[in-house]
Amino acid sequence: MKYRTLGRTGIKVSPYALGAMMFGAMGNTDHDESIRIIHRALDAGINFVDTADLYSRGESEVIVGKALKGRRDDVVLASKVHYPMGDDPNHRGNSRRWIMRAVEDSLRRLQTDHLDLYQIHRPDPTVDVEETLSALTDLIRSGKVRAIGTSTFPASQIVEAQWAAERRGLERFRTEQPPYSIANRIAEREVLPTCQQYGMGTLVWSPLAGGLLTGRIRKGQDNTTHRSATMPVHFDHEAKLNLVEELASLAGEAGLPMTHLALAFVLAHPGVTSAIIGPRTMDHLDDLLAGVDVTLDDDILDRIDQIAPPGTETGPNEIALNLPALTEPALRRRPVSERSAA
């Protein structure tokens, strides 16, 4: 496996990052099997493991911690903070108060004394970015965190955070984790170029578009057994199913499984460091590992550009559009008392 440098951190990581979201109650509830999957990935050369406190309310971190016993020094370990971890209104967000508590909880569950990468899972409009960066800087200086990053931040907030770090003499975000796939190429517009400009590494999530690009969801078939049945807007959109048919044809011509085509596509972008794969079973992992050395030539990439033009998305992509400025009405509506022009 050919390793890549994570931005300008000097850390070498595998082109596939093992995402741990599917370990625990959100996916595979068998801890022993999940640990075997992690070990199989490490044995295959993957050295980058990405989890979050949110995943199965900490259970994913517990499983990863068990799996890394005796192997921790060989793994670049990443986790995240932001989402609620209880009913207490202060047990969430990007405040110093919560970050300092959440990192200790994550370290305990992961059975380690440091994280190689600690990421802010989503923006928090209630917190100054300087507050967040100050807390993360203290964690780096204390040795509990080696590098810091963001996930699903718009380009404007990535830039503001870089400027804030320079103004205040704080550690800066070294990575970003955007959604990116053939079905959702929005990151090509601003996020990936911005990350390249600032020398940030990128770990792209949902490179298979939440399962859409596995080839298991096809037009005219009964897809009710797939998780698409619980996410009809995201998966059953006609344009998305048409996209799958065109990509299936292209993958067939290229002699590739669609999963390999989809992963090789995102890894071909010069701004992408690693693609996060999130297997739930050993079979899922083995299928994905078989494509780690696949590269696409310009003819195939040109065909993909014709099917799904650069910078576009195919149908509604609500999982990538859940930023507070879009989901919270109070952030895009003046109070009633201020709406009158009089």
Positions annotated as catalytic residues are 55
| Beta carbons within 8 Å of 110's beta carbon, 6+ residues apart | 51, 61, 62, 64, 65, 68, 77, 79
Residue 97 CA to residue 107 CA, distance in Å, equals: 16
Sole residue written with tokens 């499984």: 257
Residue 103 CA to residue 115 CA, distance in Å, equals: 9
Phi and psi at residue 71, to the nearest 5°: -130, 5
Residue 108 CA to residue 135 CA, distance in Å, equals: 19
Distance of CA 308 to CAs 51, 181, 305, Å? 30, 10, 5
Type of residue at 234: H
Sole residue written with tokens 């995402």: 19
177 within 8 A of 147, measured Cβ to Cβ: no
SS (H, E, C) 245-303: HHHHHHHHHHCCCHHHHHHHHHHCCCCCCEEEECCCCHHHHHHHHCCCCCCCCHHHHHH
Distance of CA 61 to CAs 34, 92, 112, 164, 180, Å? 12, 17, 11, 31, 24
Question: Which residue in 162, 51, 26 sits closest to 109, CA to CA?
Answer: 51
244 within 8 A of 277, measured Cβ to Cβ: no
Residue 38 CA to residue 42 CA, distance in Å, equals: 6
* Total residues belonging to the chain: 342
| Signed CA dihedral, 310, 311, 312, 316: sign only | positive
